Homo-oligomer: A and B are copies of this chain.
């Protein structure tokens, strides 16, 4: 459901073609809610069929047209409604922490590599989000510029809330990095004696044998 609202959000600034949206999306919304191009076009058609957006064909070259999408009043209403409805929090879905809880089953090398990948991932994210924050603060982000043009009276809130969101993501990433670094130290301390070796397996498997060979 969020893809749809991210697209509506983008279209509140100005009408755009599918391709424009894909690009805008990649440059802004995808930093918070990833979606592949192949999901965006069909979603746009669905939104159009539901009357949230309007698709106007505009000429492209001599022989063809492209769709220019603009948000309708129903679309604005739907977006506002989503914005004014408190999100439900429910699912816990964290494969990295799930894995970490069972690191004794990995080789120390694999566990280390996992955490290094974790660090790498969040370092990259943090950089992206940090540069987004500065782009917002300088007004150098093009998506922001278009938005400020559309709503000059709200420029302060527009900028501040976006910076707030991205700074939160940066802080989150930094926390993840700190955590993973602590994990690396822990692996160094425990590696060897305490891990369940990956090939040997005899010790762990014996303790499991009772029923698995029954019948």
Q: Which of B171, B182, B195 contacts A154 (CB 8 A)?
A: B195
Q: Is A110 within 8 A of B85, CB to CB?
A: yes
| Cβ 8 A contact of A161, one of B102, B117, B165 | B102
Q: Does A169 contact B (CB under 8 A)?
A: yes
Contact call A103/B186, Cβ cutoff below 8 A:
no
Number of copies: 2
A38 at the interface (CB under 8 A from B): no
A-to-B contact residues, CB < 8 Å: 2, 5-6, 9, 12, 14-15, 29-34, 54, 56, 68, 70-73, 76, 79-80, 82-87, 89-107, 110, 113-114, 117-118, 121, 125, 150-151, 153-154, 156-158, 160-162, 164-169, 171-172, 175-176, 178-179, 182-183, 186, 190, 194-196, 198, 201, 203-205, 207-208, 210-212, 214-215
